[in-house]
Amino acid sequence: MTNHVPEATKPASGDYAWLGTEAGSVADLMYMLNTEDWYDAINSRFVSELLDDTLPESILKAYLIQDFKFYNNGMMARLIKLAPRQETKDMLAAQSQWFADNEATYFEHFLEAYHVSQEEYDATEPTPANKEYGAYLDSLSDKSWPELITAICCMEWLYLAWAKRTVDADVIQQVPAHKGWVDLHEGAHFRRWVGDLISLVNEYCSIDGPEAEVFRTIVHLERRFFDDSYPQE
């Protein structure tokens, strides 16, 4: 029996100083302006049930199918193209390859292990929140580098935040699909990746720029995406 994973604590400035979000930094200020949705997202029913190994298979399948379609939306290619320095392009390209080697492989193995046919994959309808999220990400295609780097930073940082709950509790999931999803979003590699993104946000972004609204919108849509995983009563 997997032990229960406690909820994360209420957000506070400097929570992620170990990633580069020292109190007063741009990333920390964005985080602190969105604490309610952030807290609700990383402690959502979906996340808690996944970490506790109690998530219904049907909910997991529908969620991951929709998430996999997000994976193919082309945001990384746009980020690499707009990156202001060659070393940043190289870092993003290396991470893009890591996604191809690890996250895409996880999805493929999941679809096979759970016997998801092409017909089921194609027939899985996006939830209202997922549809809105996808449309929002598409709308970022012609936005600036600060807006795009803020979007990807927020998404990856929030995933690290919920996965960190199980590491803090010293709990290892027994369902392979659950453990695999956690492992993709916690650990030395993923922490370094999120830290690199936060560093870029601190360098290129402003709390007074449009990227602050991007951060707010991403956190809000992530929370709704988790909540929308369950049939609405």
Task: Give 232's contacts (C-beta < 8 A, 6+ positions apart).
Answer: none
Query: What is the helix (H) or strand (E) element at residue 119, kind and residue range?
Result: helix 118-123
Report the alpha-carbon distance of residue 141 to residue 135 in Å, rounded.
10
Report the alpha-carbon distance of residue 109 to residue 58 in Å, rounded.
16
169 SS3 class:
coil
Residue 212 CA, distance from chain mean position: 17
Has 103 been labeled as part of a binding site?
yes
Has 208 been labeled as part of a binding site?
no
From the list 7, 104, 107, the residue with the least C-alpha distance to 47 is 7
Has 112 been labeled as part of a binding site?
no
Check if the beta carbon of residue 55 is closer than 8 Å to that of residue 49: yes
| Catalytic residue positions, numbered | 222
Q: Detail the residues annotated as belonging to a binding site for substrate.
A: 67, 103, 156
Q: Detail the residues annotated as belonging to a binding site.
A: 67, 103, 156
